[in-house]
Amino acid sequence: MAEIRPFRALRYAPGLDLGALICPPFDVINEEDRVALQSLSPYNAVHLELPTEGEDRYDRAAQLLHTWRQQGILVPDATLAIYLLEQRFPHHGSMRRRQALMCRVRLEPWETGTVRPHEHILRGPKEDRLRLLRALRTQVSPVFGLFPDPLGRVRSLLEDDAWQEVSTFQSFDGQSYVLRRLPDPQREEEIREALAPLTIYIADGHHRYETALAYREERRAKSPAWTGEEPENFVLMGLVAAEDPGLVLLPIHRLVARGAPLEVALHRLGGMFELQTVPSLPALLDLMARHGRAITTIGLASAQSPDLYLLSLLDPEAVYQVLPQDAPRIWRHLDSAVTHYVVILHALGLRPEELEQEGVVGYVSDPQEALERVRAGQYQYALFLNPPRVTQVMKVADAGYRMPPKSTYFHPKLPAGVLFYALDLEG
């Protein structure tokens, strides 16, 4: 059963502009973004979430966190609480609204099924996150979790007027936020009871969740009097209902630096897919969206040709023969799975170990950026994907399987810096 708890949040001091202090999670911040965020404020959370390079960066981040607390830049709340973060953001010409319940959740190994992953992770960032957590003993950015709420029971409790506004602010990218706190213990208990029987699915933050698990095991190994109530047994999460109308799932497109010549790749794909040349990226994306409602559809651009290609599934059985044979049926219909195994590994001829090498495969959410980087010769291929559906994400997790890395992009990200989970405040 899922166990959520209030926590004594470490927060930026009242009066500071939170819009200049929050940042996205580490894995979507490039160097240009980091510089821009650092310029917003010397206290921006990016200084802790993604400290500048150098072997001593974790120690420097820890010292900075200590200094901010001493100076009163970051202050602990007087009491434990759960919070509600509302995000308003533009999407396809309209404003969306999404609500995330901010709390700490008891860590559970994947095997229990209480918390379920949906995609594989890349190995590199996990060691980085673990070293940062060891140094800070503070969780800077929340894990993004989903929970099923088909009858709206939890959402009705989140709309209750018992929530008290703590802060309103706007980030540099135009998103508006409202942070609320729940001072009513009775209402808090109702929320905890409503969530207890539900499964939590990791939408974003697999690295952070696995890091928290690893850190807990490290600490437990050193404590013979472990009770299970130590702060390391919990992880900071933002929980969003899978049915929230503001939940947006974007595709992540693939960039591949090397592979078989285009003529060879198209020949290998020819019996499995119907191949169609398309004159422009907007036309390609439009066809993908329309065809993708019924069949697996992938877009392809190559540095070896000015043409764009629409790949529409023609022979499912031939495709399935290239996919892992133990994969459940729901997984075989994932565009990211077909792209990974059939296009990148089979048609382009890359080996699985090559995908872990830096610079071989890149991931971007902007299709125009993907095309421009191929046209500039930075990559040999761009592969354009439709986004999966939220129900697919949950069903794959329920089947005990995982999507390939970077299969989902839940938009917008839950920011780092709104609330910090400082382990020393709970001990």
For residue range 64-106, what is the model confidence (pLDDT) as tens digits? Answer: 999 999 999 999 999 999 999 999 999 988 999 999 999 999 9
| C-alpha to C-alpha distance for 73 and 80, rounded to whole angstroms | 19
233 domain residue, yes or no = yes
307 and 161 share one domain: no
pLDDT at position 427:
58
pLDDT more than 70, % of the chain: 99
Backbone angles phi, psi at 352, to 5 degrees: -55, -40
- Average pLDDT for 231-239: 98
The span from the CA of 232 to the CA of 216, in Å, is 5
User: At 410, which helix (H) or strand (E)?
Assistant: strand 409-411
pLDDT digits (tens, 9 = 90+) for 305-329: 999 999 999 999 999 999 999 999 9
Angle at 219 between CA 43 and CA 83, to 5 degrees: 45
Is 399 part of any domain?
A: no
Helix (H, G, I), strand (E, B) or coil at 128: helix
* Long-range CB contacts (within 8 A, 24+) of 68-71: 68/43, 69/10
The residue range of the domain holding 276 is 252-386
Q: Which run of H or of E encompasses 397?
A: helix 390-398
Is 21 inside a domain boundary?
yes
Are 265 and 352 contained in the same domain? yes
Q: How high is the mean pLDDT of the chain?
A: 95
Work out the average pLDDT over 326-338: 92
Residues 228 and 316 in one domain: no
Same domain, 231 and 346: no
The CATH number for 266's domain is 3.30.1760
What stretches of 50-93 show up as alpha helix (H) in DSSP? 57-71
Q: Are residues 239 and 331 in the same domain?
A: no
Q: Is 417 within a domain?
A: yes
More confident residue, 120 or 301: 301
User: Rounded mean pLDDT of 107-136?
Assistant: 91
Q: Kindly state whether residues 333 and 317 are assigned to the same domain.
A: yes
User: Are 227 and 343 found together in one domain?
Assistant: no
Whether residue 194 is found in the same domain as residue 53: yes
Angle at 135 between CA 204 and CA 359, to 5 degrees: 50
Whether 175 and 89 have beta carbons less than 8 Å apart is answered as: yes
User: Does 225 lie in the same domain as 104?
Assistant: yes
Which tens digits make up the pLDDT trace of 375-409? 999 999 999 999 999 999 999 999 999 999 889 99
Sign of the four-CA dihedral 152, 157, 160, 164: negative
Please determine, for residue 126, whether its predicted confidence score (pLDDT) is greater than 90: no
- Output the pLDDT for position 238: 98
398 within some domain: no
Q: What is the mean pLDDT of residues 53-73?
A: 95
**For the whole model, what pTM was predicted?**
0.93
125 φ, ψ (degrees, to nearest 5): -65, -20
392 within domain boundaries: no
Q: Does the pLDDT value for residue 194 go beyond 80?
A: yes
Domain count, the chain: 2
Say if residue 286 is in the same domain as residue 356. Answer: yes
* C-alpha closest to that of 68 among 127, 29, 21, 109: 21
Percent of the chain at pLDDT above 90? 91
Residue 53 — very low, low, confident or very high, per pLDDT cuts 50/70/90?
A: confident
Whether residue 66 lies inside any domain: the answer is: yes
- At 120 the pLDDT is 85
225 and 273 together in one domain: no
Nearest to 40 by CA among 14, 18, 25: 18
Name the token pair of 278: 């398309």
List CB contacts of 179: < 8 A, sequence separation 6 or more: 18, 83, 84, 85, 86, 165, 166, 167, 168, 418, 419
Q: What pLDDT shows up at residue 252?
A: 95
DSSP state of 336: H
Q: Is residue 72 part of a domain?
A: yes
Residues 19 and 145 in one domain: yes
- The pLDDT of residue 112 is above 90: yes
| Cβ atoms of residues 102 and 85 within 8 Å | yes
